[in-house]
Structure 1
Amino acid sequence: MGQMERLFLSIGAMKAGTTWLYSILKRHPDIHFTPEKEIHFLAHHYLNKKHLTDEHRLHRVRTRLNNIGNLRPERQKLIRDWYNDYYLKGATSVPWYKNLFNGNKGRRAWNADFSNLSALIPAEGWTRLRSEVSKQTKAIYILREPCERLWSQYKFSGQSHENIHPSDFEQQIEHFLSNSAVNRHSQYCSNLDAVCDGLGHQNAKAILFDDIENQPEALLASIEQFLEIPARDHSGHNNLNRRINTTVVQAPPAVFRKHCAPIVARELNGLLARGIAVPSRWMEMETPA
């Protein structure tokens, strides 16, 4: 099986609006998604073989198929057939991955795969991906104010900060921030450097979470321009000004921001050094009151 003609990746950051972006772009005629939004194969293949085990695949199928009852019968059949004929068929491999996009054969649409785990792939993995999967690969990386993203991830992990002694809360924060996976997802600059080194700077684009809230149509137009596809009128989309699959909006407590301060300073300084302009409010919040 030859290379895929076009591969479009949204690689994170975690808890930074990827689901919202997917909900909008999946209707674009020049972007082709499989029924599984987060395939995780690329992180599995180029980073860690634990990300896409057979058990994980079976779990994903059960979860997905349990949530399609509201779809038209013909759409339900297409989804079930795809999981049976492609997703569950055979061992995970590069040919297996390419075959997932079989429904896009004969078209010029971008094959799209949105997985936050892909942000952690090292530069050598990105170089191999261009050789093994698709030479024409483009990736976007959504950047969210570092402490707010971490707070969202903290709450998403199921940890509570209510009805807890302040000293216990601080211990929970320290334990959370010391987690290696949490730390890797917080390393915007090194993650961006890896994808830029592996794919080329012209094929990697950093976008801002704030723009999802403040200027969603302009953000979508910038992505369409990046992919060199026709602009689409998204003004009538139900989700354009709606937050999708996000934790409850709440500012991080001062004590959480205090513990995040070294991470925030590291990333903001690094982004500015790389010529990436961050919103002024990020800089204003860098030093907690």
Structure 2
Amino acid sequence: MTAKSKSRPGVAIPNLFLVGAAKCGTTAMASYLGQHPEIHFSNPKEPIFFGRDLQHAWRLPSLESYLALFEEGRDCRYLGEGTVWYLYSRTAAEEIKAFNPDAKILIMLRNPVDALYSLHGQFLFSGNESHANFEKALAAEPRRRQGRGIPRAAHFPSGLLYSEVVRYTSQVQRYLDVFGRDNVHIVVYDDFARDPQGVYRNVLEFLGVSTDHRPDYAVVNSARSIRSIALHRWLINPPVDIWNPGRWLPKGYLAHSLQWRAQHLRGRLYDLNVTQTKRAPLAPATKKRLKESIVGEVEDLSRLLDRDLSVWI
């Protein structure tokens, strides 16, 4: 059995969707699944094709470019992708169902407080967030909900509504309603961190593929911090597009050479400005306030999953 389209004979289409949530271990899971001989995972992991309500600057431009990501694995039983914002999207579940009714859905969830703090760090790194202080970023949400205070370099403004990102209960319910519980597998990050091999085996059993495979359980997507936020922002979004000098010159060797040198310099500066390090712990007062704000959400999610998640609060 391979992932072939009934409506598009000869075309390989994805049938495994790791839909989120953000900062819940999906990069590691995608890496492990992509090593399985029966599974092909897209590169990039997050093509951001579905979810018409997601205003994301990095969205793939066409169906052709999307399907091309899976051509290499056309003989695999599963073709997968891992756009974490599909869980956040209000429309992605229905869109995926219409695209492939037989798709399998994988969801990963994490303590909302930890997930939000980690997401803020990622957004700082990618240029989506301008407030280096987490508390200030949270306080900016009401203004940003009105379209104000959005960073100039933001590629995904909707993600800055932090409190909405971790409303997991309604998001998970949407996929259960659309695909049915038999086609949705949910992983709690606490289990994955404690026993990655056992959780991985459970996912393989859900997919019905060989459970004998042992992936490389190396650390994936480790924490990174920025030495200079000002330099980082300038590298991502300079006031003048100095990183594409070739656009101002006739096509030819000179334009190509200058373009390559500019991008090489940008990459070197980017790497020098990044360090692998653990982020400072979340301020106790902020952590306490956030925990109090998610009590109802965690209780609802516990009932939905039939699992006690009170340790999160």
TM over 0.5: yes
Match runs of 1:237-252 below 5 Å:
237-239=216-218, 242=219, 244-246=221-223, 248=278, 251-252=281-282
- Residue number in structure 2 paired with 1:92: 62
Normalised by the length of structure 1, the TM-score is 0.70
- Residue number in structure 2 paired with 1:78: none
What SS does the aligned partner of 2:305 have?
A: coil
1:269 aligns with 2:237: no
1:148 aligns with 2:127: no
**Whole-angstrom distance in 1 between the partners of 2:33 and 2:17:** 12
* Contiguous gaps of at least 5 residues in structure 2: 125-130, 145-157, 225-277
**Whole-angstrom distance in 2 between the partners of 1:50 and 1:154:** 17
**Whole-angstrom distance in 1 between the partners of 2:282 and 2:40:** 37
Residue type of the alignment partner of 2:96: L
1:215 aligns with 2:195: yes
Q: 78, 102, 108: which is aligned to 2:71?
A: 102
**Whole-angstrom distance in 1 between the partners of 2:223 and 2:216:** 18
- Residue number in structure 1 paired with 2:54: 48
1:126 aligns with 2:93: yes
Q: Is the 8 A contact 2:86 2:92 kept in 1?
A: no
Match runs of 1:132-171 below 5 Å:
133-158=99-124, 159-161=131-133, 170-171=135-136
- Residue number in structure 2 paired with 1:77: none
Per-residue CA deviations over 1:220-278 (Å, capped at 9, x if unaligned) read: 011001111110342x6241xx3533452654222221331344212211112213414
Normalised by the length of structure 2, the TM-score is 0.65
Higher relative contact order by CA 8 Å / sep ≥ 6: 1 or 2?
1
**Whole-angstrom distance in 2 between the partners of 1:127 and 1:160:** 36
Aligned CA distance change for structure 1 residues 160 and 108 (closer, same or farther; 3 Å): closer
Q: Is the 8 A contact 1:141 1:207 kept in 2?
A: yes
Q: Is the 8 A contact 1:146 1:267 kept in 2?
A: no
* Contiguous gaps of at least 5 residues in structure 1: 58-90, 162-168
Q: Is the 8 A contact 1:173 1:256 kept in 2?
A: no
- Residue number in structure 1 paired with 2:128: none
Match runs of 1:223-238 below 5 Å:
223-234=203-214, 237-238=216-217
Aligned CA distance change for structure 1 residues 173 and 185 (closer, same or farther; 3 Å): closer
Q: 184, 193, 214: which is aligned to 1:204?
A: 184
Percent pairwise identity: 19
RMSD of aligned alpha carbons: 2.7
Residue type of the alignment partner of 2:37: P
**Whole-angstrom distance in 2 between the partners of 1:10 and 1:246:** 21
Bigger Rg, which one? 2
Q: How many aligned residue pairs are there?
A: 231
